[in-house]
């Protein structure tokens, strides 16, 4: 049953940018000078004493013969240039046309445009289409001066835009432009000539001879040009092969391609739109069919043309292509009047195919096709290698000719319980803000978001006609807007990647998993826009290119490739003791070769001297990670695997012809891997991988609970950093009235000030818990120095700080804190070194090792962070805290978070809670009278100032 298509509104006429208008009027006489502007910002956090520089801004000066204008400041250089051009247009009084064309007006403009294309003025211009006209004037054939209609359709963007105004369906099917060109040309019969078959157009009267002679001046020594191209047969029984096009500048290159396709001349060749990058001249060339010139897609009543559809060529271009096709990178450009050409190899063809898949885009960005995989989770921008998930998703949409993905950012003042994606998206009356972004840029006016908010991201994948294909609505919340976008993008990409990696599995199985990825699938639109071409794509071809006995292996996904696992694994070299662990970043050099079994034949497919990845996120093929986990720095591993899919083989190999010959034999893949170095995992990421909630959050919750139970009114946070504890406290109703933080890092204090200021000054209606805090102050200074302004606070905290100091400094801090600052309660946490065997998946020490002096344990484990100066065992920490408490008349109790006290190896973070035994009246008078002020006030907030 036929379904009625949704009507699509005609697109608006693309308006010229201000710069384009200035260029039309002044050309090279318009001079743009862009300068970088640095501005000091104090508005984000009033009272912050550290000068804050805004991000780089740009200002543009536009110099014209008539005047000079200076723009305002913008984040992007191009925006500053456009602003300057817009100001100049306004001052000069240039009138810009903004009226959209009606279909009738567009039809009239199309006729005028075609007439202009065949004018003498256009012939001498630097335009891709004028290059074709000049080439046709050099030919000696019957079609002297004739231009194929397909060339006019693909080389002139203005004609394409006008045809879209007439019929919006041109966007999805560019071949519909052809009949509009034919119809317009027939209205110029006194000026133009068309063939009976309507496949070329020629100017009726010849161009002036002097113009032709000036354009024909070429060197007489021009040699034959050899351009490598690819033939893509329409029959799936035949495989893709390389062809060589031999031509010179004195010949029309379309005639050479027509000859390769068995056609009479270039007028019988149709040209696809660009393949790959928009600036590329890589296109598909194939035989023209009469039905292309009709006002409909080519669907023959007897089905003959439909049967000869080229599925592989269609997948590449997104257009219906009949018969064999030539994939070549050749044509005329605006940059030069010479013929532009580049070789297209079998390797490039397979890389194009790979680049249409989410995992393939990531592999290409890593330049490691046989080693890299799309990671299973997003960590941080610093640790992520290759293109970011959002960028991969945008590239995927462009490759499949979809609209840019729509990112809807949902902002919450605080983290809220999980709710349905639909209610989140509506966000009406829920105290949330929805910010719609296309490719990261806001498309609706959005309020400024505070650093303390939580963000979700919902993504819509849309067709060119704005029909929803996929809707991804994860419930996960993130502190950073970018993290929400990247994680949601990765979730959507991971689901799509399952399809492209499992083409033998029915779509119904993939559809069932959509809910696990928080994805709603619009099946009809998904099949029409993405899956219909890929489902009949070259997986059948891949099997034919390999030995028939290996066909089942070639059809499987890469993840399922190792039916028999790694073979002949051999690890050589002494054990250095430096091994990768969960979350670490090993760096390897590798070489992958195709080896013919039983013969002395070996060819390197891919090699890399430096490849870094993160352990535990699926960033590489699983068996490579398993092998690397068994190695130590300096060791080499050698092993074999079954033959990989031929798309990876051909996309990686340089000599595709040789690879084709080798892969037809009984082959295997041989790996050689050297582990060159290992970067230790950042402490927070390593802990997050093992604990839920993360260990850092458990420490904060422990401190908050003690603060609530103590009924303290004053709090001092030693080593407050970026204010994670202080920020968390503002989410609770406490008895605190005065809060202070001390740290030596200006960067950390700056962030803490901004976060606290945004929360303390938040609107009561925003959902922030109202508290009775009267004063918050942040100091810059070392916690080993005493400042009398902070003496005698009710409670002090020092979470995961002392291990960043030398041991003698940690002891000094303990003495200064308990003898000078004298808080009633002091909470100190530090890593338990014994727990590192769990975090780093090392083997626990034996009973013999435990009886030694602890040095054996130090050798088998590493510190959790490269910045740690020491990490204490439970015994060492207990000894330090007990001696400190006895010396300064405090009680101390031990606890911790992560793990259990009575289960080895104890808590992951060990905590000492000191309580003062003596009263305030017993304090040494010199302490209260001390007027030493070693700290600088960085930021201060007071409820009285509000």
Banded pLDDT at 307 (limits 50, 70, 90): low
Measure the CA–CA gap between 701 and 695, rounded to whole angstroms: 10
Q: Is 90 exceeded by the pLDDT of residue 740?
A: yes
What's the CATH code, domain 566-681? 3.10.50.40
Of 34-48, 338-352, 355-369, 738-752, least confident by mean pLDDT is 34-48
pLDDT tier at 739 (50, 70, 90 boundaries)?
A: very high
Highest mean predicted confidence (pLDDT) among 163-167, 220-224, 498-502: 163-167
Q: In the prediction, which pLDDT does 217 show? A: 62
Above 70 in pLDDT, residue 857? no
| Cβ-count burial 676-713 (b if 16+ within 10 Å, e if not) | eebebbbbbbbbbbbbeebbbbbbbebbbebbeebebb
Domain-wise residue ranges, the chain: 18-92, 103-295+309-344, 375-413+452-545, 566-681, 689-844+853-920+931-942
What local confidence, expressed as pLDDT, does residue 794 receive? 96
How far apart are alpha carbons 2 and 847 in whole angstroms? Answer: 77
pLDDT score of 434: 57
- Say yes or no: do domains 18-92 and 375-413+452-545 share a fold: yes
pLDDT for residue 540? 39
Higher pLDDT, 226 or 525: 226
Q: What is the pLDDT of residue 446?
A: 43
**Residue 95 pLDDT > 80:** no
pLDDT at residue 280 in the model:
77
Question: What is the sign, positive or negative, of the torsion defined by CA atoms of 614, 619, 624, 625?
Answer: positive
At 453 the pLDDT is: 61
Closest CA to 129 of 111, 148, 110: 148
List the beta strands (DSSP E) in 750-823: 775-780, 795-799
Query: Of all residues in the chain, what percent carry a pLDDT higher than 90?
Result: 37
Please tell me the distance from the alpha carbon of residue 254 to that of residue 143, in angstroms, as a whole number: 12
CATH class, domain 375-413+452-545, is: alpha beta
Residue 91 pLDDT more than 70? yes
CA distance 661 to 646: 12
Residue 727 pLDDT exceeds 80: yes
User: Domain 18-92 maps to which CATH number in 1.10.3470.10, 3.30.70.580, 3.30.160.20, 3.30.470.20?
Assistant: 3.30.160.20
Whether 446 and 435 have beta carbons less than 8 Å apart is answered as: yes
Residue 793's pLDDT is 96
Query: Going by C-beta distance under 8 Å and a sequence separation of 6 or more, which residues neighbour residue 89?
Result: 18, 21, 22, 96
- Distance CA(454)–CA(456), nearest Å, equals 7
Question: In the Cβ-directed half-sphere of 569, how many Cα atoms lie within 13 Å?
Answer: 11
Provide the residue count of the chain: 946
In this prediction, residue 666 carries a pLDDT of 73
Peptide bond into 905 cis (omega under 30): yes
Contacts of residue 697, defined as CB under 8 A and 6 or more positions apart, other chains included, come to: none
Which CATH class name applies to 689-844+853-920+931-942? alpha beta
Number of H helices, E strands in the chain: 35, 33
Q: Is there a contact between 668 and 367 (Cβ–Cβ < 8 Å)?
A: no
Look at residue 864 in the predicted model and tell me its pLDDT. Answer: 80
Residue with tokens 């606890």: 895
Q: Which one is predicted more confidently, 564 or 409? A: 409
Q: Supply the DSSP string of 119-132, one letter for each residue.
A: SHHHHTS--HHHHH
In this prediction, residues 827-855 reach a mean pLDDT of 67
Mean pLDDT of the chain: 80
Mean pLDDT of the 564-579 span: 84
pLDDT band of residue 384 (cuts 50, 70, 90) is confident
Identify the weakest region by mean pLDDT among 235-249, 476-490, 844-858.
844-858
- At 47 the pLDDT is 76
- Tens-digit pLDDT profile for residues 622-639: 899 999 999 999 999 999
Collapsing DSSP to helix, strand or coil, 909 comes out as strand
Over the stretch 21-73, which tens digit does the pLDDT of each residue have?
898 888 888 999 999 887 655 556 777 877 766 677 899 999 998 789 999 99
Strand order in the sheet with 68-74: 31-37, 57-63, 68-74
Residues 830 and 909 sit within 8 Å (Cβ to Cβ): yes
């Amino acid at each position: 049953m036929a379904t009625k298509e949704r009507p699509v509104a005609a697109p608006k006429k693309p308006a010229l940018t201000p710069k384009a208008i200035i260029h039309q009027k002044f050309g090279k006489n318009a001079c743009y000078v862009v300068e970088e502007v640095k501005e000091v910002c104090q508005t984000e956090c009033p009272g912050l004493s550290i000068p804050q520089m805004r991000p780089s801004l740009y200002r543009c000066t536009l110099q014209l013969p008539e005047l000079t204008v200076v723009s305002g400041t913008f984040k992007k250089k191009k925006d500053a240039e456009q602003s300057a051009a817009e100001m100049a247009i306004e001052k000069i009084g240039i009138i810009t046309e903004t009226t959209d064309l009606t279909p009738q007006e567009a039809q009239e403009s199309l006729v005028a445009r075609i007439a202009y294309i065949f004018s003498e003025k256009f012939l001498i211009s630097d335009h891709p289409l004028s290059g074709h006209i000049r080439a046709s004037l050099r030919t000696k054939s019957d079609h002297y001066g004739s231009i194929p209609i397909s060339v006019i359709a693909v080389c002139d963007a203005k004609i394409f835009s006008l045809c879209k105004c007439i019929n919006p369906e041109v966007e999805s099917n560019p071949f519909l432009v052809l009949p509009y060109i034919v119809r317009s040309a027939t209205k110029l019969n006194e000026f133009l000539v068309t063939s009976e078959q309507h496949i070329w157009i020629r100017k009726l009267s010849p161009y002036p001879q002097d113009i032709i002679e000036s354009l024909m001046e070429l060197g007489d020594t021009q040699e034959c040009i050899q351009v490598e191209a690819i033939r893509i047969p329409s029959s799936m029984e035949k495989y893709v092969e390389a062809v060589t096009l031999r031509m010179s500048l004195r010949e029309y290159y379309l005639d050479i391609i027509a000859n390769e396709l068995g056609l009479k001349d270039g007028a019988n060749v149709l040209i696809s739109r660009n393949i790959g990058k928009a600036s590329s001249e890589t296109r598909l060339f194939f035989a023209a069919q009469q039905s292309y010139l009709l006002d409909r897609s080519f669907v023959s009543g007897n089905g003959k043309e439909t049967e000869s559809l080229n599925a592989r060529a269609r997948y590449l271009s997104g257009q219906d292509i009949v018969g064999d096709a030539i994939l070549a990178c050749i044509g005329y450009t605006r940059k030069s009047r010479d013929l532009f050409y580049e070789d297209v190899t079998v390797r490039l063809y397979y890389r194009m195919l790979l680049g249409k898949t989410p995992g393939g885009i990531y592999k290409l960005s890593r330049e490691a096709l046989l080693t890299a995989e799309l990671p299973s989770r997003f960590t941080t921008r610093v640790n992520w290698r290759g293109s970011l998930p959002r960028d991969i998703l945008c590239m995927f949409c462009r490759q499949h000719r979809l609209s840019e993905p729509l990112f809807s950012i949902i902002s919450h003042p605080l983290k809220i319980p999980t709710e349905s994606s639909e209610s989140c998206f509506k966000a009406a009356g829920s105290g949330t803000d929805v910010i719609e972004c296309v490719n990261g840029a806001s498309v609706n006016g959005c309020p400024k978001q505070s650093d303390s908010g939580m963000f979700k991201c919902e993504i819509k994948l849309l067709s060119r006609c704005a029909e929803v294909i996929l809707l991804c609505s994860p419930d996960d919340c993130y502190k950073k807007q970018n993290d929400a976008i990247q994680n949601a993008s990765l979730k959507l990409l991971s689901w799509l990647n399952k399809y492209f990696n499992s083409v033998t599995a029915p779509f119904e199985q993939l559809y069932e998993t959509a809910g696990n990825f928080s994805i709603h699938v619009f099946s009809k639109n998904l099949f029409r826009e993405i899956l219909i071409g890929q489902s009949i794509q070259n997986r059948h071809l891949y099997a034919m290119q390999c030995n028939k006995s290996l066909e089942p292996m070639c059809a499987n996904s890469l993840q399922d490739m190792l039916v028999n696992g790694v073979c002949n694994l051999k690890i050589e070299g002494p054990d250095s003791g430096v091994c990768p662990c969960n979350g670490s970043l090993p760096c390897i050099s590798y070489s992958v070769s195709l080896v013919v079994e039983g013969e002395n034949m070996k060819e390197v497919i891919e090699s890399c001297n430096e490849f870094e990845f993160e352990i535990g996120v699926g960033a590489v093929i699983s068996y490579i990670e398993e092998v690397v986990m068994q190695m130590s720095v300096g060791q080499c591993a050698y092993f074999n695997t079954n033959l990989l899919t031929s798309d990876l083989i051909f996309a990686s190999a340089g000599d595709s012809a040789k690879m084709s010959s080798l892969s037809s034999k009984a082959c295997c893949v041989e790996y050689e891997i050297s582990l060159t170095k290992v970067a230790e995992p950042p402490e927070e990421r390593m802990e997050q991988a093992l604990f839920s909630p993360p260990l850092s959050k458990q420490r904060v919750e422990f401190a908050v609970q003690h603060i609530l139970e103590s009924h303290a009114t004053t709090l001092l946070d030693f080593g407050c950093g970026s204010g994670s504890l202080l920020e968390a406290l503002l989410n609770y109703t406490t008895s605190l009235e005065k809060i202070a933080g001390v740290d030596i890092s200006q960067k950390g204090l700056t962030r803490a000030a901004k976060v606290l200021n945004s929360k303390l000054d938040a609107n009561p209606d925003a959902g922030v818990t109202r508290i009775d805090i009267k004063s918050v102050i942040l100091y810059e200074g070392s916690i080993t120095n005493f400042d009398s302004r902070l003496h005698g606070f009710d409670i002090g905290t020092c979470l995961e700080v002392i291990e960043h100091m030398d041991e003698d400094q940690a002891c000094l801090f303990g003495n200064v804190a308990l003898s000078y600052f004298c808080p009633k309660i002091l909470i100190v946490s530090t890593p338990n070194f014994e727990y590192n065997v769990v975090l780093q998946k090392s083997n626990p020490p034996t009973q013999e090792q435990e009886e030694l002096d602890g040095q054996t344990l130090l050798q088998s484990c590493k510190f959790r962070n490269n910045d740690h100066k020491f990490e204490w065992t439970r015994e060492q920490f207990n000894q330090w805290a007990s001696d400190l408490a006895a010396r300064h008349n405090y009680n101390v109790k031990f606890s911790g978070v992560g793990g259990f006290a009575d289960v080895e190896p104890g808590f992951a973070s060990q905590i000492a809670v000191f309580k003062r035994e003596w009263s305030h009246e017993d304090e040494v008078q010199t302490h209260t009278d001390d007027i030493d002020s070693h700290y600088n006030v960085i930021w201060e907030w007071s409820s009285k100032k509000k």
